[in-house]
Structure 1
Amino acid sequence: MIWPLDGASSDVVFNTWSHFSLSLNLEAASFTRYITPTKVEQKVRHLVIEWIRNEIVRHIPDAEVLVFGSTPVDMYLPSGDIDLVVQSKSLAVEGPPRSNITRIADILRSTDMALGEVRIFASAKIPILKFVSRHGKFSIDISVNVSNGVAAASIIRDFIRDIPGVKPLSLIVKCFLRSRDANEVYRGGLSSYLVVCMVIYFFQTHKGMRKSHTDPSSSLGNLLLEFLQLFGYDFNYLQSGISLRDGGKTFSRSERHWIYRPSQPRLCIEDPQNTQLDAGAGIHDIRRIQMLFIHAYDQLQAEIQRRDRSRSKALLLEGNSLLQIIMGVPLNVSATGPRWIAIDKANARKSSIGSILPCSIPQGDSIDY
C-alpha cells in the first residue's frame, strides 16, 4: 500500500492487476492525488502570503505583492518555495534594485515573520531576499519590480487549462527530481518552470494524446515512461531546441545561434514570454539530468518486465511500489510513501489555520491574486 490519502489506506490494490504496467498507471494517478495540495495546505500558504503582503503595504502604500511560480497554479510540492514580487512605482523612483531589496528586508526584520535570518542576494542577476516564514515554515523568495514571473504564471495556467495531463505529470517529474536533489538550477537541476515547459512540449507532440480525448490520468504511468524515454534517450540536446509555439515544435540551435560551446549538449527552451530568450540558458549540465531520466526509465522497464515474467502471486501480494523505485527509497518503504514526502506533507498539514492567523487578517477573508 502506498500514498495514503489523509491517513486512509491506499487506493492502489496491487494484487488485482495482472499486468504491472497497468499497476503503474493507477499508482501514478494515486500519487498525484496524494501530493496535490489540499484545501488546508492552500489556505495556510495563502494566509502567510497575505500576512507578508499586509506588512509590506503598511510600510509602502503603493506596493503590490504578487505571487508567481508554482503557488498560483497549485503545482508546488509540500515543501515548495513561495515566490513573491513587490511592484512599486515609489521604489522604482527611490533607488536601484539592491537598495530596494534591502528596504524590503528591513521591513521583514522589524516583524516576527522570519524564522531565523533574512538573507539578501544583492549580486544576483535579479536581486532577491530569502527567508523561512515563522508560520508554516515556508521558504520565501522576494524580488522587486520584476514582471516576467507573474506573466509566466499566467501562461502556464492557460496551458494547464488546455492540456489536462500537464499538472499531474509535472508533479511526478518534480518529485522525482526533488528526490535526486536535481530541482534547483543553482545546484545543476531543473527549475519548476523548465519542467512544466518540457511536460507541455511532451503532450503537444504526443501523437496519441493529440488525437485522443482519453483522460491522461488513466495512463499516467505509461506517460511517465514515455516522458523519461523522450528526454532520456530520444531528444537531441546537441542540435535541437524546444518551442511551445504552434502546438509544439523543435528548432535548430545553430540557426538561432544558441550554440554556447561546440559539442556541448544543452537544454534550450524558447521562453514562451519572449521568443528571443533561452529559458534554459542557466542549465549548464543537462547531461546529468538526461542520465537521471535514462536510469529511471531503465529501472522501471526492467522491473515491470521482471514482475510480468515472474507472475508471482507472492510478488503481487507484497504490495511493493513501482513508482518508489525511481523516488530514491527502498521498495519496502512504509505505507506513508517516500519519507521526505510524508514528512513534508505532515508538516504542511500540521499547522492549524486558526493558529497562524495574524490579528490583522480576519478569518474567512478571501485572498485574491
Structure 2
Amino acid sequence: MSHSNQSRRLQIRTHTGWMECRHDIGTFASGLLSIYESLKPSEEHLSKQSQLIDSLTKSVSKEWPNAQLHLYGSCANSFGTSHSDVDVCLEIKIGTGSEVELLLRLAEILRGDNFDSVEAITSARVPIVRMLDAGSGFSCDICINNLFAVANTKLLKDYAQIDGRLLQLASIVKHWAKLRGVNETYRGTLSSYAHHGFAPFGTVHAYDMDDCIWMAHHHHSVMAMEPTYTMVVDDTECAYFDEVHQLRDFGAENKETIAELLWAFFHYWAFQHDYRKDVISIRMGKIISKKEKNWMTRIGNDRHLICIEDPFETGHDLGRVVDRQTIRIIREEFERAAAVLQHDDDPCMTLFEPYHYEK
C-alpha cells in the first residue's frame, strides 16, 4: 500500500474485506483536539493538587518520618482531567501491625489535622482511607504499598512524553468511554488504566502500513531496551527504559492526524481484533495468543473475554472483569463509534453523546 502524503487513502482489512477511510477524516482533527484541550487540568488544579500532597506529607511524616507518599493513577500519569480525584499511595514498612491497623491510625491522624469526611474503608479489594480536602475540594483515596500502581503510573507518564498523539488518543478514548458507560469496572467494563493500555493498539494493527507501527515501537522500545528504571514489588521486577528524552520524535515518520488515529482505533476494535484468540501485550508491543497465556477459559472470577496483559504483573489480565453481557456492550460501542467516525456529518458531537442507562 502506498504511504504517500496527503493523497493516500487509509484502509483496514475487516472480516468481510477492505474498508477505506472517509476522504474528509482530517477535517475533524481540530474538533477532536479542542475536546482534548478542554479535558486537560488547569495550572490551578495542578497547584492545588501539589498543595494537598504537601499537607498530607506533613501529617504523615509526624507519625512515620520514613514513609513516602506517591501520587498515582490519572492524577499523576498525564492522562488526568480537572475532574480526576487524587489517588495516593503510602509507601511504608508495616512492621508488626496489620495494614488495617495502619489505615485506622492514618484515619485518626488525618481527622486530628482537620481533614474532612475521613473514612477508613478496610473491606475494599484495595483497602483505603478516603477523605475530602476542603481547601481544594478534592476527594482523595490513600492506599498502602500499592506499588504496582505507582510503577504503572510512571510507565504511562513516560510513554506520554514520547509522542503527543499518544496522550491525545488515550485521553480522547477515555473521555469517550466515560460518556458511553464503558469505563466502569464495577459494571464489568474496563478501567481507565486498561483504556490507556490498549488505546495505541487500534492504530498499530488497523493499517497495513509500515509507518503506523510507531506506537507499537514506543511500547516495545521502552519495555525491551536495556532498563534504566527498576522497582521490585513483591518479588516482581518492574523494569523498563525510562530515558524517554532519547525517544522523542521516535514516530516522526508517521503523519497520521488524531482523527485518522482515532478512526483506526475504533475500526480495529470493531472489526479486526480477534476476541477469541488475542491478547494485547503492552510489555511486548504486539498481540500474543490467549493460548500462550493460558487464558482460554474462565479461571475463578477472571473471564478473559477481552485480554490486556499488565506490563509488570504479567499474570494479571486488565480486562478480567468483563463478562458475557458487558463484552457485548463494549463491542457494540466500538461498532457504533466506528460507524459515527465513518459516516456522521458531525462525529465530534455524535461520538461523545452520553449513554443513559435505563432504570
TM norm. shorter chain > 0.5: yes
Partner secondary structure for residue 255 of structure 1 = helix
Q: Identify unmatched segments of 5+ residues in structure 2.
A: 1-22, 215-250
| Aligned position for 1:328 | 353
Partners of 1:265 and 1:59 in 2: how far apart? 43
| Aligned position for 1:225 | 263
- Which of 44, 60, 73 is residue 40 of structure 1 equivalent to? 44
- Which of 273, 286, 290 is residue 235 of structure 1 equivalent to? 273
Q: Deviations over 1:286-320 (max 9, x none)?
A: 3322222211222232214xxxxxxxxxxxxxxxx
Matches within 5 A, 1:209-288: 209-210=212-213, 213=252, 219-246=257-284, 248-261=285-298, 266-284=305-323, 285-288=326-329
Partner secondary structure for residue 170 of structure 2 = helix
Partner secondary structure for residue 173 of structure 1 = helix
Matches within 5 A, 1:135-150: 135-150=135-150
Contact 1:65 1:84 in 2 (8 A): yes
Cα displacement (A) at 1:88: 1.4
Partners of 2:254 and 2:136 in 1: how far apart? 34
Partner secondary structure for residue 182 of structure 1 = coil
Matches within 5 A, 1:6-155: 20-89=24-93, 92-114=94-116, 117-155=117-155
Partners of 2:353 and 2:105 in 1: how far apart? 41
Using CA pairs below 8 Å that are at least 6 residues apart, which structure has the higher relative contact order? 1
Q: Deviations over 1:1-38 (max 9, x none)?
A: xxxxxxxxxxxxxxxxxx75233111112221222223
Cα displacement (A) at 1:45: 1.5
Q: Which amino acid aligns with 1:36?
A: K
Q: Which amino acid aligns with 1:32?
A: Y
Are 2:181 and 1:156 aligned?
A: no
* Residues paired across the two proteins, number: 289
Partner secondary structure for residue 259 of structure 1 = coil
Query: Which segment drifts farther, 264-273 or 139-148?
Result: 264-273
Contact 1:105 1:118 in 2 (8 A): yes
Partners of 1:237 and 1:119 in 2: how far apart? 40
Q: Which amino acid aligns with 1:135?
A: G
| Aligned position for 2:190 | 190
Contact 2:75 2:81 in 1 (8 A): no
Query: Which segment drifts farther, 165-174 or 151-160?
Result: 151-160
Partners of 1:119 and 1:259 in 2: how far apart? 40
Cα displacement (A) at 1:67: 0.9
Cα displacement (A) at 1:157: 2.3
Contact 2:73 2:87 in 1 (8 A): yes
Cα displacement (A) at 1:190: 2.0
Contact 1:37 1:74 in 2 (8 A): no
Specify which structure has the higher proportion of helix: 1
Cα displacement (A) at 1:172: 0.6
Are 2:339 and 1:298 aligned?
A: yes
RMSD: 2.5
Contact 1:120 1:130 in 2 (8 A): yes
Partners of 1:299 and 1:60 in 2: how far apart? 53
Partners of 1:267 and 1:223 in 2: how far apart? 21
Partner secondary structure for residue 276 of structure 1 = coil
Partner secondary structure for residue 53 of structure 2 = helix
Cα displacement (A) at 1:322: 2.9
Cα displacement (A) at 1:129: 2.5
| Aligned position for 1:352 | none
Q: Which amino acid aligns with 2:287?
A: T
Contact 1:166 1:203 in 2 (8 A): no
Specify which structure has the higher proportion of strand: 2
Q: Identify unmatched segments of 5+ residues in structure 1.
A: 1-18, 305-320, 331-369
Structure 1 stretches of at least 4 aligned residues deviating more than 4 Å after TM superposition: 203-206
